């Protein structure tokens, strides 16, 4: 098995650009067209996760998460910073997964397991000071 090469700086910038496009498209699909990004409060852990603080045309702000995990969003009030937003999505996904597992719809079990895995990864990420002490 070949060892994966680290991303170059150009590849990292391209990954960030793609994640921004994914986040803004996702938010638009939820009915909120993006006006701008608050870049200094957004965070990236390449190639796993990007957390965007986005402003919609109507003046509302949202946290939008995407990357190697499900895209999701919430109003800005759920967290004062990106690290708290990561914790929020971790808890939210754990609850969603539990609800899916409790339901009688067994077709959702694989998605519930994915949510649990990604929620655990997010929780671990939120606990790591090294990702939050510097701007990523």
Q: Which pLDDT tens digit goes with each residue over 84-127?
A: 999 999 999 999 999 999 988 888 999 999 999 999 999 999 99
Q: Is the pTM of this model over 0.75?
A: yes
Q: What pLDDT, on a 0 to 100 scale, did the predictor assign at position 130?
A: 84
User: What distance separates the 2 farthest-apart alpha carbons in the chain?
Assistant: 50
Q: What pLDDT, on a 0 to 100 scale, did the predictor assign at position 40?
A: 93
Distance (Å, whole) CA 25 – CA 81: 22
pLDDT of 2 higher than 80: no
> What mean pLDDT do residues 54-74 have?
97
């Amino acid at each position: 098995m070949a060892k994966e090469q680290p991303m170059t700086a150009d590849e990292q910038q391209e990954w960030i650009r793609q994640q921004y496009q994914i986040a803004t498209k996702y938010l638009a699909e939820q009915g909120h067209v993006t006006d701008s990004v608050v870049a200094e409060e957004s965070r990236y852990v390449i190639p796993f996760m990007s957390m965007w603080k986005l402003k919609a045309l109507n003046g509302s702000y949202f946290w939008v998460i995407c990357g190697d995990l499900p895209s999701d969003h919430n109003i800005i009030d759920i967290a004062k910073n990106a690290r708290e937003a990561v914790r929020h999505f971790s808890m939210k996904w754990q609850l969603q997964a539990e609800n899916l597992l409790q339901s009688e719809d067994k077709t959702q079990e694989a998605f519930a397991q994915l949510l649990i895995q990604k929620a655990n990864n997010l929780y671990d990420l939120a606990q790591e000071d090294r990702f939050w002490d510097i701007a990523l």
